[in-house]
Copies of this chain bind each other. A is one copy, B any other.
Amino acid sequence: MHDFKYKNNNLYCEGLRVRDLAVRFGTPLHIYSYHTLTDHFIKLSKAFSAIDPLICYSVKANSNLAILKALVEKGAGLDIVSGGELFRALKAGCPAGKIVYASVGKTEREISSAISKGILFFNVESLPELKCIDRIARGLGKVTRVAIRINPDVEAKTHKFITTGKITNKFGIDLESAYRILLLRGKFRNVKICGLHIHIGSQITESAPFVAAVSKVSGFVRKLEAKGIKLEYLNIGGGLGIVYDRESPQTAQVYAHEITPLLKNTGLKIIMEPGRFIVGNAGILVTKVLYIKNTPKKKFIIVDGGMNDLIRPALYGAYHNILPLRKTFRCEKADVVGPICESGDFLAKERRIASAGEGEYLAVMSSGAYGFSMSSNYNSRLRAAEVMVSGKKARLIRKRETYADLIRNEIKG
């Protein structure tokens, strides 16, 4: 599943002892395993080899250039959601023709730039957006391609913040409205509707919601074909869940087994947008124990990583396993908390956890996705460094911020 394993009671990332990396690069520190990262991509490719999809890694999960480059070199396309991600995708060497662009709030500048660069297509989220893209393309004297994002009204059974395929969510277009748009497609002279897109949410651990969504959309494809509307692409989005705690998510094989027949039947070129599935378990956040604080009611393990480094526990009530870098069998119940001045700053609550003394290190597991990418400078804390490990080599892929970075754009006056 991933390449963070104990050897002689020490946690290793591939061929390197994590403790040595913590000492060398300082903490808090994000460490990624190159092998885990690329292996997840390859596993997914192989599971779906029968239909040879274009797998567009979802940049928002972790947008570090080195992560993007590693995947692009393996043949991945990229799924972007902003002009900033377009900039990153191109910097990382991704061919524009392998970039798909979703977001309910694309600005004119972002649309214009994506058209000019020649991305594969936009995932269009509303009729006003479609009109806007058409108008901008006309201004640029181009015809650009779009997929209509369908909101299939399917319950993904995940956290409410990352459910995106219910009709009460802001995403996509309901089937009926999408049908009307497709019938009127000739009105949009500078837009070619070349496909459909669905994305029902994130961290989904069962196949059933995917099957339900794909079934709905493939029925829709047939309905369109009956009307003489031929499409090229079906973008089935991402959302594959990973193991954080005791989940047993569908594997790539099971997932592929369940939906490949449905996808094949459409006759369309399939696009997938996995993010967390690729990078989630490929990263850990290493943090140092600053103080052990015993209070009358609780034990607190105070560490140097905070909610600014990993907001998932506070924002989603997310569970992350926490492991000591040196294996121990002594356990105790404690809250693992960061240095930030609010009670929402915690990594674990009332958790039975391996004992770790002051100055020792802990690894917050499975923090590769939505870890650094959601990090902030809250409490004027410096954003952490990021390191990529491949075999016995470690490489800094993002320098730790400095105090100068904090105020770089400020003008005191």
Contacts and interface: CB of A to CB of B under 8 A. Distances in A.
B291 A161 contact: no
Interface in A117-173: 125-129, 132, 151, 160-164, 167-171, 173
B69 A412 contact: yes
A292 B341 CA distance: 38
A314 B292 CA distance: 31
Contact of A104 (B160, B291, B400): B291
Given A66-B411, A411-B396, A380 B341 contact: no
A413 interface: yes
Q: Give the oligomeric copy count.
A: 2
Chain A interface residue bracket vs B: 35 or more
A303 B105 contact: yes
A269 B125 CA distance: 59
B315 A83 contact: no
Interface stretch (A5-13, A84-92, A258-266): A84-92
A328 interface: no
Contact of A174 (B60, B126, B295, B304): B295
B304 A105 contact: yes
Nearest to A131: B291
Contact of A105 (B126, B298, B316, B338): B338
A382 B107 CA distance: 13
A395 interface: yes
A69 B346 CA distance: 32
Given A105-B306, A107-B304, A293-B104, A344 B315 contact: yes
Contacts of A401: 409
A288 to B, nearest CB: 8
Interface stretch (A205-213, A245-253, A277-285, A368-376): A368-376
A410 interface: yes
Interface in A171-188: 171, 173-174, 176-177
Contacts of A339: 81-82, 103-107
A410 B161 contact: no
A406 B377 CA distance: 13
Given A88-B407, A300-B170, A60 B412 contact: no
Contact of A407 (B91, B170, B400, B405): B91
A406 B383 CA distance: 12
A321 to B, nearest CB: 21
B382 A410 contact: no
Interface in A315-373: 315-316, 335, 337-344, 346, 358, 373
A293 B126 contact: yes
B164 A342 contact: yes
Nearest to A316: B344
Contacts of A129: 291
6 contacts: A69-B412, A103-B339, A126-B293, A162-B343, A170-B302, A173-B295
Ranked nearest first, the 7 interchain pairs of A and B with the lowest CB-CB distance are A105-B339, A84-B380, A161-B344, A376-B376, A65-B412, A399-B409, A87-B403
Interface of A: 59-60, 63-66, 69, 81-85, 87-88, 91-92, 102-107, 125-129, 132, 151, 160-164, 167-171, 173-174, 176-177, 202, 290-293, 295-298, 300, 302-304, 306, 311, 314-316, 335, 337-344, 346, 358, 373-382, 388, 395-401, 403, 405-413
Given A167-B296, A373-B380, 5 more contacts: A64-B410, A105-B291, A316-B344, A395-B411, A401-B409
